[in-house]
Amino acid sequence: MTDIVDPTLEAYASEHTTAPPAHLEALAAELIETLDFPHMMVGRLEGRYLEMLVFALSATSVLEVGTFGGYSALAMAAGLAPGGRIVTCELSPVHAAFARRHIAASPYADVIEVAEGPAIETIAALDGPFDLVFLDADKTGYRAYYEAVLPKLAPRGLIAADNTLWSGRILDPSDTTADTEALRAFNDFVATDPRVVAVQTTVRDGVTLMRRAG
């Protein structure tokens, strides 16, 4: 994997970001010790970034596609407006159980629902509108998730898609793996989709933000 931001600068940015609360520190420590692919956790910097998006939107309805260990859902919960809720979709029973346990032990147990099963089915059963949608699941599914959530996005809502720079692999023409090709196609499509206005940021592994055009 390639660092897309100088690791020293990223460490500095993380150190100058408000430290996570105890329940997120505990989740992160256990996740690193017990779950496969711990690098998939958003962590301190991106967690606060997502919380700030939720707060700035005064969001009351957040949808997350890809729970993993629940770090991002719990981070976003801290930014919810009063009465707000988060539905987070997870396919893996192991990840769902891990997330539910840590959510239950947090101050946000009553505002986060972990929906276990195929995310595309969960999305179809939800009415919206969503103030924020965070995409962080299988990369080959991004386009389908995007198409499913866009009609349910609130007028001033945002979609945030994680890993869109893919540790720089999207620039490596020799990388033709399914995930890399899917992210290249997703990035190219979103950049020219007249339905949205998009900006690709270099936060951690690349976070693309999208809003409705017009």
Domain assignment present for 73 = yes
Contacts of 39 (CB under 8 A, 6+ apart): 1
Q: What is the tens place of the pLDDT at every residue in 137-187? A: 999 999 999 999 999 999 999 999 999 999 999 999 999 999 999 999 999
Tell me which residue range forms the domain holding 20. 7-212
Which helix H or strand E contains 201, and what residues bound it? strand 196-201
Whole-prediction pTM value?
A: 0.95
* Measured distance CA(211)–CA(160) in Å, rounded: 9
Length of the chain measured in residues: 214
We report the CATH number of the domain holding residue 190 as: 3.40.50.150
Is 27 inside a domain boundary?
yes
The answer as to whether 150 is a domain residue is yes
The pLDDT, as a whole number, for residue 2 is 61
Q: Does 2 reside within a domain?
A: no
Q: Is 1 a member of any domain?
A: no
How far the first Cα of the chain sits from its last, in Å, is 38
Q: Domain tally for the chain? A: 1
* Residue 167 domain flag: yes
CA angle 136, 177, 6 (to 5 degrees): 60
pLDDT, average across residues 28-56: 94
For residue 51, being part of any structural domain is answered with yes
In this structure, what are the phi and psi dihedrals at residue 116, rounded to the nearest 5 degrees?
-90, 135
